[in-house]
Amino acid sequence: VRIVVVDGVTVSRPCCSVLYCFESLRSVNDCFCHLHMAEHGNQCAIISCTNSITPGSKTCQDPNHKAVEALHTLCGQSHFQLR
C-alpha cells in the first residue's frame, strides 16, 4: 500500500517523481531520489516541460509556468483562504 486516506487527509511515504521508481528520498522536500536528482533535479515542475528552472523557483522562465507557480504559492497563504 502506498497511500492511505483517513478523514480526508492523505498519508503516504514520499517517493521519487519518476514513474515506477521506488527509491527513498533524502528529504520530504525532495521530488527526486538520489539516482534521478542529477537528471531531473533542475527540470521545470510543470508536467511535460523539460526546460531548466530559474534560480529560487521551481519553474522555467515561461510566464504561464510562473503564473501557475505563483497561484500554487498563493493558495498556501492564509490571506488567500480568508477571501
Q: Are residues 36 and 66 in the same domain?
A: no
50 and 29 assigned to the same domain: no
Domain count, the chain: 2
Q: Are 72 and 83 contained in the same domain? A: yes
Say if residue 78's pLDDT is above 90: no
Residues 75 and 54 in one domain: yes
pTM over 0.85: no
Domain check: are 13 and 2 in the same one?
Answer: yes
- Are 64 and 51 in contact by the 8 Å Cβ rule? The answer is no
In terms of residue numbers, what domain contains 79? 44-83
- Percentages helix, strand, coil for the chain (3-state, rounded to 5) are 25, 15, 60
Could you report the per-residue pLDDT of 31-73, keeping only the tens digit for each? 889 999 888 888 888 888 889 999 888 899 999 999 998 888 8
- Report the pLDDT value the prediction gives residue 82, as an integer from 0 to 100: 59
